[in-house]
Structure 1
Amino acid sequence: MTDLFQSAGLEESAPRPLADRLRPKTLDEVVGQDHLLTGTGPIARMRAQGRLASLILWGPPGVGKTTIARLLAEDSDLEFEPLSAVFSGVADLKKAFERARARRAAGRGTLLFVDEIHRFNRAQQDGFLPVVEEGTVTLVGATTENPSFELNAALLSRCQVLILKRLDDAGLDQLIARAEVEMGRALPLDDGARTALRSMADGDGRYLLNLVEEAFTFDPDTPVDAAALAQLLNRRATAYDKDREEHYNLISALHKSVRGSDPDAALYWFARMLEGGEDPLFLARRLVRMASEEIAIADPTALMIANEAARTYERLGSPEGELALAHAVVHLATAPKSNAVYVAYKRARRLAKETGSLMPPAHILNAPTRLMEQQGYGKGYEYDHDVEGGVSGQDYFPAEMHDRPVLYEPKDRGREASIRERLDRWRALRNERRKG
């Protein structure tokens, strides 16, 4: 198979980026994806069985999706036909399919690699179905987006989805070591700077090697520390797209950390979203929702603090107002939790739908006219403030509802613990009166 560098029209002797020079030449050299490539991993099993299914490789940038596809083609003796969904249209697809059919007629198979496959629209994705089904191509698509949301169900049913992981520190260290061997010398960085370099890469091997190549231009006799490295290299923004899956993943992590009473994790996810460029007012609204859904009257101040934090941000703006939101994050995470009101509300809505238009019991209806008095409106009503303990124990549900439902069941924590004690007494009183 033609080398990718040569296929771009460049001579082998031309200067090549470090990331290209270190591109793995075999699947065994791929870093950080052992869960797919070794042991009982799905690609390892396919190789052992001498077969290759159509695949969707899902993972963040710079983790080896293109490299794995290219090496799978070599390993399976298939022609590697690359396409980018960003730059290709229907005409390009048709030409690729025609070339694949010609190869098949000549006895050679094709691995059609489609980068950013999620960029193709539904109709274009449907175009792959016949050539995959008839075996004209083995499709390997690469995507950074969740295939469940971005790809047709019909296409997904014909492909195996494999998840590639962002590179951990061990994998990044392997790449740094290979770069040092390639360059014939050590990086001019102290230990702190090496740690900072890995952090800057954010799990992206290709980006790491670009940083490493830049670091090799530093004075080799004067090791650089972390502070100097930060000035010499630009740190890229963390992966975050407010309109895509990462947004929902992080807000879910924040919400669940608050629900799980972990202020440290909650602050971390809150900060991650701010660093990614999230609108603080979106976070403020979500904090108000958390206070209502997850805490409610177990700590009535939670909703007030969340609302006040939102108002503070509106008054102060960024960055000062963000501290008020952080205050609310910590308060909500450390508050006693209860979803009892949330559950009771959903039960009440369900019950209201089921029971239709039942009238309130006559004794709690006002009787402004003589006719209404004759109908029994208000008869037997007891004014709760006038009875001992301030609770009459009368029934306030429709008379047709013979089994009095219990909708609100307070938890035994926070302020709801004392509410629960009072409700137990009052419900016992009502049950006693109903029996009487």
Structure 2
Amino acid sequence: MADLFDTNATDAPKPGPRPLADRLRPRALSEVIGQAKAIGPDGPLGAMLASGQLASLVLWGPPGVGKTTIARLLADHTQQEFVQISAIFSGVPELRKVFDAAKLRRQTGRGTLLFVDEIHRFNRAQQDSFLPHMEDGTITLVGATTENPSFELNAALMSRAQVIVLERLTLADLELMAQRAEQELGRALPLDGPAREALLDMADGDGRAGLNLIEQVMGWQVKGKLDRTALSQRLMRRAAQYDKSGDAHYNLISALHKSVRGSDPDAALYWLARMIEGGEDPRYLARRMVRMAVEDIGLADPQAQAVCLDAWNTYERLGSPEGDLALAQAVIYLALAPKSNAGYVAWKGAQKLAKQTGSEPPPKHILNAPTGLMKEQGYGAGYAYDHDAEDGFSGQNYFPDGVPRPVLYQPPERGFERDLGKRLAWFAKLRAKRGG
């Protein structure tokens, strides 16, 4: 009978099964899929490693593109100790222990590559705690984030770390990953061509999710190959990556706004649908659409603002999903409306002029004179009542004395502003004629 305490006993516990994503983890940077721009010979990481110098980094990219794997491989390549922490579960006490251990390790001549997952979740003080240890070489910091570092990391940390942008995986990248999985498992996916493409599409650019889906499909007991319909009955598409308070939120609303500005109703509808499907508050979208109407359409189509407000009001009465259609129709209207930022530019010019002229008073002839003293001071003297003037236009000056008359509003030859431009030209002609 084998000794229960004999470590060489034949019944010693065996290691458990490893997930496919872990078994296929690259063992060299050259095996990393989809990030040639960053780690290739001409990429920032490739050039850095070729020089023999690894600086502190921030790896910015969506989930499942290899941030943790790249950090591990960088530690192996530079022969540093790999230490991993997560900003979600770590605080000041944990950081202090990591720094103390790195200092002891440095005394023995070994460096430390500290990988911080979700680094954007650390507050400003916690981010600042890395700085002295980065500067004296105690650690080489490699942070990972799915959020825009420009917004989420403080300037001091950003100045000491190079940002490396990692891209979501393409279908071709995911296909290569699937082929590696088939080689590892020794058999092909039980899917026909369209179903295989649908499976990779379900990963939505996330390599880890793709391998998990592949592992799940490989575990099915099926005869022959499944088609797209059979696959969709067994698997549900992953929810699109969308963070209502994060980088995706700002990227998608920018895409929607610029699609409207670019008069592309199809693209505008697509980005509107992406945001609503991602869980965005339709009221936020309604408010942004009103902004688009006043900022990018303005008086070229005065009705655009009313259309947006009516759509907003309709949504408030109906809610989702019926009210979403009102927002979609408003987006179509905005995209096809004539575009003009003349009012926006005029307003910015007026604000700039107001700051430059300070407290200059209005000309006295347009001031009311309710008291005798004010009349003696010349208030209201020489004021021309426009309704009594020929054509209902006196042509008087309404700017402060000594302030040259500017031209702030310049309507383009588009939409309703074409008519407004004609009115402006007519008034300018009358003003010149009457010496205003």
TM-score by length of 2: 0.90
Q: Which residue of structure 2 aligns with residue 24 of structure 1?
A: 26
Cα distance, 1:335 vs. partner?
A: 0.8
Q: Which residue of structure 1 aligns with residue 146 of structure 2?
A: 144
Q: Which residue of structure 2 aligns with residue 419 of structure 1?
A: 420
Whole-angstrom CA distance in 2 between matches of 1:169 and 1:122: 38
**Could you give the per-residue CA deviations for residues 378-408 of structure 1, whole angstroms, max 9, x where no partner exists?**
7462544763xx3434224146146222221
8 A contact 2:384–2:396 mirrored in 1: no
Higher mean C-alpha displacement, 214-223 vs 160-169: 214-223
Q: Which residue of structure 2 aligns with residue 356 of structure 1?
A: 359
Q: Please show how residues 251-400 of structure 1 align to structure 2 within 5 Å.
A: 251-353=253-355, 354-360=357-363, 362=365, 364=366, 375=378, 377=380, 379=382, 381-384=384-387, 387=390, 390-398=391-399, 400=401
SS at match of 1:325: helix
Q: Which residue of structure 2 aligns with residue 5 of structure 1?
A: none
**Could you give the per-residue CA deviations for residues 265-303 of structure 1, whole angstroms, max 9, x where no partner exists?**
211111111011011111011111111111111011111
8 A contact 1:257–1:263 mirrored in 2: yes
Higher mean C-alpha displacement, 191-200 vs 303-312: 191-200
Change (3 A) 1:324 1:50: same
Change (3 A) 1:122 1:352: closer
SS at match of 1:422: helix
Q: Which residue of structure 2 aligns with residue 429 of structure 1?
A: 430
Change (3 A) 1:209 1:427: same
8 A contact 1:55–1:159 mirrored in 2: yes
**Could you give the per-residue CA deviations for residues 209-249 of structure 1, whole angstroms, max 9, x where no partner exists?**
00111111234423223333223123222111112222122
**Could you give the per-residue CA deviations for residues 354-390 of structure 1, whole angstroms, max 9, x where no partner exists?**
252523552x566777887775737462544763xx3
**Could you give the per-residue CA deviations for residues 308-362 of structure 1, whole angstroms, max 9, x where no partner exists?**
1111111111111111100110110111111111221222233334252523552
Q: Which residue of structure 2 aligns with residue 4 of structure 1?
A: none
8 A contact 2:147–2:247 mirrored in 1: yes
Whole-angstrom CA distance in 2 between matches of 1:315 and 1:15: 54
8 A contact 1:59–1:143 mirrored in 2: yes
Q: Which residue of structure 2 aligns with residue 81 of structure 1?
A: 83
Q: Which residue of structure 2 aligns with residue 66 of structure 1?
A: 68
Q: Which residue of structure 2 aligns with residue 186 of structure 1?
A: 188
8 A contact 1:366–1:378 mirrored in 2: no
Q: Does residue 1:45 correspond to 2:47, yes or no?
A: yes
Higher mean C-alpha displacement, 139-148 vs 117-126: 117-126
Whole-angstrom CA distance in 2 between matches of 1:116 and 1:70: 16
Change (3 A) 1:84 1:367: closer
Change (3 A) 1:130 1:193: same
Whole-angstrom CA distance in 2 between matches of 1:132 and 1:11: 42
Whole-angstrom CA distance in 1 between matches of 2:426 and 2:304: 27
8 A contact 2:360–2:400 mirrored in 1: no
Change (3 A) 1:350 1:134: closer
Q: Does residue 1:221 correspond to 2:223, yes or no?
A: yes
AA paired with 2:428? R
Whole-angstrom CA distance in 2 between matches of 1:350 and 1:312: 38
8 A contact 1:27–1:71 mirrored in 2: yes
8 A contact 1:145–1:245 mirrored in 2: yes
Higher mean C-alpha displacement, 75-84 vs 394-403: 394-403
Whole-angstrom CA distance in 2 between matches of 1:128 and 1:366: 65
Cα distance, 1:100 vs. partner?
A: 1.9
Q: Please show how residues 103-118 of structure 1 align to structure 2 within 5 Å.
A: 103-118=105-120
Cα distance, 1:258 vs. partner?
A: 1.0
**Could you give the per-residue CA deviations for residues 151-182 of structure 1, whole angstroms, max 9, x where no partner exists?**
22222222111111111111111111111111
8 A contact 1:58–1:146 mirrored in 2: yes
8 A contact 1:295–1:335 mirrored in 2: yes
AA paired with 1:233? L
Q: Which residue of structure 2 aligns with residue 100 of structure 1?
A: 102
Whole-angstrom CA distance in 2 between matches of 1:208 and 1:186: 15
Whole-angstrom CA distance in 2 between matches of 1:12 and 1:52: 38
8 A contact 1:187–1:220 mirrored in 2: no
Identity %: 58
8 A contact 2:399–2:405 mirrored in 1: no
Higher mean C-alpha displacement, 62-71 vs 367-376: 367-376
TM-score by length of 1: 0.90
Q: Which residue of structure 2 aligns with residue 153 of structure 1?
A: 155
Whole-angstrom CA distance in 2 between matches of 1:433 and 1:416: 25
Whole-angstrom CA distance in 2 between matches of 1:399 and 1:46: 61
Whole-angstrom CA distance in 1 between matches of 2:401 and 2:320: 56
* Stretches of structure 2 lacking an aligned partner (at least 5 in a row): 1-11
AA paired with 1:194? R
